[in-house]
Amino acid sequence: MSASDETLFDNSTWAGAQPRLSVLIPFKGDDPVDLLLALDREAADVEIVLLDDGSQDEVLAQRVTQTVAAARTPARFVRLAANVGRAKGRNRLASHARGEALLFLDSDMAPDDPHFLGRWRSLVEDENPPIAFGGFSLKQAPLRRETALHRRMAANSDCLGCDARRLAPEKTLFTSNLLIRRDVFDAEAFDEGFSGWGWEDVEWAMRAVRRWPILHIDNTATHLGLDSAATLAAKYEQSAANFARVAERHPQVVADYPSYRVARALRRVPLPTVWRPALKAFALADAAPLGAREFAMRLYRAALYAETIR
């Protein structure tokens, strides 16, 4: 896709701004307006760039355009005619940014602190780190029965504090709340060979950490977009080929991942077409104990990866 396949809308303060920090928000189908409003309320000295990755939703596009127009913060809305995917979309976002630091935020995030952007700006001004991850939480995520499994899995493996994340800095990094210095991103962009969902952010970190340190801080945002068990399983199904791409490119790194070791072990288990669907069915069963469902879903994910790794 070339630049001719995108349309731009800038608000009145965009042209004259000289921000040091660019906030980059991709979305496809999800509504980023609440996040944009939350960031704009802080009135920090930043710019915001939103990218619609081929949603083809005119109502949503109009809503985003109106919100960008009303924002005090310099903002640009980039609308792509067709979906290009998570990695390429984020690379496209970065091409529109003017700041020397890029803060990637997922559209379904909500800052946990009213000075969220101020903390990021202070970090850029005081330390200007090559890479920093602020972490994410479930503090503001509503309690819903249909998303209980995802909540439990995220709480146990993703919503980690600084000390835990620093033990494996590249593995515990996500584009949901990620700061990258411009020169670092220019040297190491996201791999556009990834498609579908998952692993493009961790693979990026595996490459980047060879050249720059990854700083982990506590400046969290809540992941509001928890999925139903069925949606989560579908995302894992999409991610299997991406995991195989990571394993092929970084075999020594993934060799220590529990998901890789379990996947390797499951390759030796006969009749996967029988037990793999049973694992999925149990993970989707709302009446089953949540802890057992979590174990089944993690095992199902490893079984999917077992099909793709060598």
pLDDT given at position 3: 54
Residue-range domains of the chain with CATH: 3-226 (3.90.550.10), 231-306 (no CATH)
| Mean pLDDT of the 161-181 span | 93
- 8 Å CB contact between 70 and 48: no
- Mean pLDDT of all residues belonging to the chain: 94
Residue 102 near residue 179 (C-beta atoms within 8 A): yes
Q: Helices 290-306 and 148-157, interaxial angle, to 10°?
A: 70
Quick: pLDDT tens for 108-143: 999 999 999 999 999 999 999 999 999 999 999 999
Which residues have a Cβ under 8 Å from the Cβ of 65 and sit 6 or more positions away?
A: 9, 77
pLDDT at 2: 43
- The per-residue pLDDT for range 198-239, each reduced to its tens digit, is 899 999 999 999 999 999 999 999 999 999 999 999 999 999
Which pLDDT score, from 0 to 100, does residue 1 have?
A: 39
4 vs 100, higher pLDDT? 100
